[in-house]
Structure 1
């Protein structure tokens, strides 16, 4: 009979378009819901519509919305459980939409990774089986549920900025989101489908804040270029620029009547402007340090400002008079919000807390504690019942304003969360982060299905034991974790370092682990017991990388102090130091015969050393930026290097000749691994992707996109399982499938 894909391939483009566009709507319209359910769980249909040039991910997502038609609910074929299944698939597509827009081939990888935890239905299991059976190109299959699943509070991710996103605002009609970034731009997004509508360009430095006028017609932005700009939201045109501050402008608020703007600056002042004319009306002086945030009361009569001087001030907007000062925080006050009834103020501080104040009296009512780092932003829901906070600890928290109780935490960003906006209906939150993304969350509903287990901070390095049974990961939380590679289960944690653990290696006999840290030390551990055996001291700066010789007798360490050191692993004695790099040494690898060492450095070079004598043999030049990682093929003939210049290079180790360059990553390449047969290279990048390459041809075989920067990767000795660690703390266990010939 042939699959749907085969049938469509035999039809002309006009038929394909008509068929794919009308199939789901016609099935719902005719009440043939059983066929509708089957269609939207058919992997062939998903792939065909996603890949069709006139459709794509958003039209596919919208097909699932047809089941919400009120007339359909009373149809005899309407089945609540099947609707739940469709919503999970739709949710998985929505969570992956920003990836599938640019790489449709990852549909199987993304759906499988997000639905793997859904053991509730035969339909989901059948779809996962279809993905494995029908994916015709090589793909990376998640072995454990390490991607954010559908059904939780995260709805979608908005990507497009090339640097930290500092601020976000929602239009009064709740239809558009405006974001401000360190990439000097603002972007306007459609909240319904996550589509980027336009980019506002004009600032010459980071854009720090954004506000929308009450009529939804204008956007006001503030920048490190010391100015504010007023934009026409409908056309994206810059209307005029407000100049007057003599340092960064950090925040802006618009009065409820839309007639005035109040700006806050690192010049320690606030300024009040006439929005119609751009005229500066007056300046509010009183803070003794940078003013970080500003809010206006709902009646438009008062302004509240927060400062690095640890205080909040309340001002009379009509006269510019300072009414009183709120003291209580013991560090910078970063943000402020006013409740809709104008009775309370909520402040957010770098002392990791929020405080709730009585605006009439200036009295501190209570403190909200729970964040583990600076609280950067705060918002109040339109009904005045909940407070949402954003923190440098990468999370958002939702609080009951009446009781001060923490209701739940939103996890998903991989870096500091800098700003929050709440939609006018109070159902969604939009967060902006230093991970360059915005995320849209469901505040009203959405049960948290489970917590992704793993590290609580960035995973910097991973290694596999020689028997392929365990993985050891190194983390910025100062720990290492040992995992069962077959199940993904965490076995135990190694604690002892006092700072970030940067690198890890396993001895050839699989009995010991060597770790390196920002605390300038290496530690040797008994892998069976988790016991720390001894510490290697000698470097004068952070230790970045480690390698063990094939005979298991020596350890080579690489450091920020520009050197490598060779150690006797049995005694812990330092044998000698390799000097030659002019900057930090980031990575090191030993050849299979144990006779040479290859080092990679911030000085953009690799060096090849004689391990017996410590002599530098030659230097490999070619990268245009820092080299982050290096690997040697099992035959000892080729070296692969990974760099901040977004490339990998393959070198002939005998001659030092550059053979070719692997291009495909859009940001720094952080790690590299080679399969034991020397046929494939695995790379991990700042662009959130892991790529598998054919080493013979230099072509990309398959790509996996994670949820934050992927800092490290390794591959099992049999070449079947790839392990990668993310900045978010997630660990990904992946299997390359779809290769011809096994």
Structure 2
């Protein structure tokens, strides 16, 4: 457990960092900027110091000394971008594959060109070497085998039906692998110069998009891989170790070459661009950084990358890792010992946080869609829900059961990590908990439904609006659902509205299952005004929501049973977070603008909105009126202030930029998610702070 974090003025502890499972997030030894010409590839020579980097779109290669931390020379010869670099002949030869349809062979002692390998009739996408053999793949749909002793082409294979973007050669030089854009991986016998086997193939096909040339690669992989083998997407990287072949797309598959069977499948990690291995470490580089795992897929550590995706990587002989990044830099990382574990982290930035009602559990949503379930008391990871769609905000049942909604299905996750899936459906937009056994499920293009945990479903009856972006509210027997009325809805009457429709608020009776009322915004031939956002129930049973009419945002107090408006007050523009009600009935709102964050309030006996507090611009603010607390998330710190005065009472430093903030248990627990995918749990000890 880390030492307690203290106030700046050395007062007694207010936020105590809860012990967490080891989650190494390594930082680079150094960063070397390179010209911003579009990094493509990197190799490290056997001396463990010299790197060759393709870092210019004009084909220039840079020689970089890691020890000196600078570029020491340039190699010029190609007339187009160099897409791939590889070593051969125990590092005495460098291979560079280019858009100029050639592969240049360089002597790494003199740095002179030995051969120019010509024959491809399109861009050469990748080259690999071992001994005095090289294998290349190109957009001419061929795989070519080269003899590096004299520069001759030994074989041309044309079994692929699309561009060959990736090739690799086994360490013994006997086998090559190639991957095409059509999601096909082939293995080649380099001794007999013949096709050895199809590792896997699919019924998918490539559709060329000639009208989209401005996008770069103008092709689309169509159809789904229904073979039960391989990736759903075309591989983005191939890599051999002594006994296995690794293929990568959004996940990594390790294949046994003797049987051709899948040995391990690593969790999805986003769009992987490169692979590297060292001893028992498998490194994968992606737009989210670099992750190192064991060959069975167990994650060990994540390298913290905040300034550009990883485009290529290579291991040094001592186990240090060098990564190349867009828009133009090299990073050197410390070697791993092998006992690290990184089981408790998102692959990218944390985008959403939810805490259970009793404050013992938390759920976090990552940028790439995965949802992690946490034990707040220990900070340990309990379960991971892999999502193919970015889910809507998870919810906790009163029992602590976590419900995660994808577009087509619901995941139910218990405290012990057990998971099951409720009946598939299409178009889930948002959820609300009715009781410990049932949920309100809001759908995009049909009426809301009441789902029981046993899998039974009961559609509500009425002329519905499609699900919107705001969460529904359960108020006793009523469900208040923000929605969107399409032009076909009778209340819209075919008026020319936006593609999304007219924002509205509907009330459904959960007992009868019928629609009670619908309130919607102004509909005109010129413009549709968005109306109704968050919905909150007050202590006296009244419903509070926001209306937006043009540039005017107002607070509306409604009767849940009738939809009648009892009160309407103006709000500052941008008050898009739900209000908080204090014990005396005061309503508090948080408002952020470009410079400051403010807390506004409406007293129960007055109809005037007044500014209560003004604080530095914050990423997020959570109010805990019962404890006279305001918790504020800055760029790199979590602050606690007295709500009555704004006085800062404690601050905690974060290792990365904060992204999400949640408070639970009357302010007893503070949870933060950061931009590097890390989670931070703090036990509040407000009784040790003077009021």
TM range (shorter): 0.5 to 0.7
Question: Compared with structure 1, are the counterparts of its residues 365 and 674 closer, same or farther at alpha carbon in structure 2 (3 Å cutoff)?
Answer: farther
Q: Structure 2 stretches of 5 or more lacking a match?
A: 7-11, 201-228, 297-336, 344-380, 486-498, 603-607
Indicate the residue corresponding to 1:34 in structure 2: none
Shift of 1:430: 2.4
Q: 2:260 aligns with which of 390, 401, 404?
A: 404
Indicate the residue corresponding to 1:514 in structure 2: 440
Superimposed CA distance per residue, residues 315-355 of structure 1 (whole angstroms, 9 cap, x where no aligned partner): 45567665444455666654322111211012345666644
Shift of 1:219: 1.4
Shift of 1:271: 4.0
Indicate the residue corresponding to 2:375 in structure 1: none
Q: 1:639 aligns with which of 574, 579, 589?
A: 589
Which structure: greater helix fraction? 1
Superimposed CA distance per residue, residues 226-260 of structure 1 (whole angstroms, 9 cap, x where no aligned partner): 54433222212123455676765432223436565
Indicate the residue corresponding to 2:536 in structure 1: 590
SS of the equivalent of 1:363 reads strand
Question: Compared with structure 1, are the counterparts of its residues 561 and 708 closer, same or farther at alpha carbon in structure 2 (3 Å cutoff)?
Answer: farther
Superimposed CA distance per residue, residues 520-559 of structure 1 (whole angstroms, 9 cap, x where no aligned partner): 567433345443322799768x843323264534211479
Indicate the residue corresponding to 1:436 in structure 2: 289
Indicate the residue corresponding to 2:104 in structure 1: 272
Superimposed CA distance per residue, residues 607-638 of structure 1 (whole angstroms, 9 cap, x where no aligned partner): 4453658999656447xxxx9x7232133622
Question: Compared with structure 1, are the counterparts of its residues 324 and 705 closer, same or farther at alpha carbon in structure 2 (3 Å cutoff)?
Answer: farther
Question: Compared with structure 1, are the counterparts of its residues 617 and 317 closer, same or farther at alpha carbon in structure 2 (3 Å cutoff)?
Answer: farther
Superimposed CA distance per residue, residues 43-74 of structure 1 (whole angstroms, 9 cap, x where no aligned partner): 6xx74xxxxxxxxxxxxxxxxxxxxxxxxxxx
Structure 2 residue 248 is matched with structure 1 residue 390: yes
Q: 1:556 aligns with which of 449, 461, 482?
A: 482
Q: 1:420 aligns with which of 250, 262, 275?
A: 275
Question: What does residue range 209-220 of structure 1 map to in structure 2 within 5 Å?
Answer: 209-220=41-52
Structure 2 residue 411 is matched with structure 1 residue 481: yes
SS of the equivalent of 1:513 reads strand
Superimposed CA distance per residue, residues 459-497 of structure 1 (whole angstroms, 9 cap, x where no aligned partner): 5412345xx43454334474333455xx45557533444
Aligned length: 533
Shift of 1:513: 2.8
* Mapped partners of 2:641, 2:682: distance in 1: 16
Indicate the residue corresponding to 1:131 in structure 2: none
Indicate the residue corresponding to 1:168 in structure 2: none
Shift of 1:567: 1.6
Question: Compared with structure 1, are the counterparts of its residues 284 and 736 closer, same or farther at alpha carbon in structure 2 (3 Å cutoff)?
Answer: farther
* Mapped partners of 2:484, 2:637: distance in 1: 24
Q: TM-score, normalised by structure 2?
A: 0.60
Indicate the residue corresponding to 1:363 in structure 2: 195
Indicate the residue corresponding to 1:158 in structure 2: 26
Structure 2 residue 450 is matched with structure 1 residue 525: yes
Q: CA contact under 8 A between 2:555 and 2:571: conserved in structure 1?
A: no
Indicate the residue corresponding to 2:459 in structure 1: 534
Indicate the residue corresponding to 1:565 in structure 2: 504
Q: CA contact under 8 A between 1:681 and 1:693: conserved in structure 2?
A: yes
* Mapped partners of 2:404, 2:637: distance in 1: 18
* Mapped partners of 1:727, 1:533: distance in 2: 40
Q: TM-score, normalised by structure 1?
A: 0.57
* Mapped partners of 1:233, 1:583: distance in 2: 58
* Mapped partners of 1:459, 1:693: distance in 2: 30
Q: Structure 1 stretches of 5 or more lacking a match?
A: 1-42, 48-103, 107-134, 160-195
* Mapped partners of 1:646, 1:472: distance in 2: 37
Which structure: greater strand fraction? 2
Indicate the residue corresponding to 1:461 in structure 2: 393
Q: CA contact under 8 A between 1:684 and 1:713: conserved in structure 2?
A: no
Q: CA contact under 8 A between 1:392 and 1:418: conserved in structure 2?
A: no
Structure 2 residue 507 is matched with structure 1 residue 577: no
Question: Compared with structure 1, are the counterparts of its residues 648 and 281 closer, same or farther at alpha carbon in structure 2 (3 Å cutoff)?
Answer: farther
SS of the equivalent of 2:383 reads coil
Q: CA contact under 8 A between 2:554 and 2:568: conserved in structure 1?
A: yes
Question: Compared with structure 1, are the counterparts of its residues 410 and 554 closer, same or farther at alpha carbon in structure 2 (3 Å cutoff)?
Answer: closer
Q: 2:239 aligns with which of 379, 399, 421?
A: 379
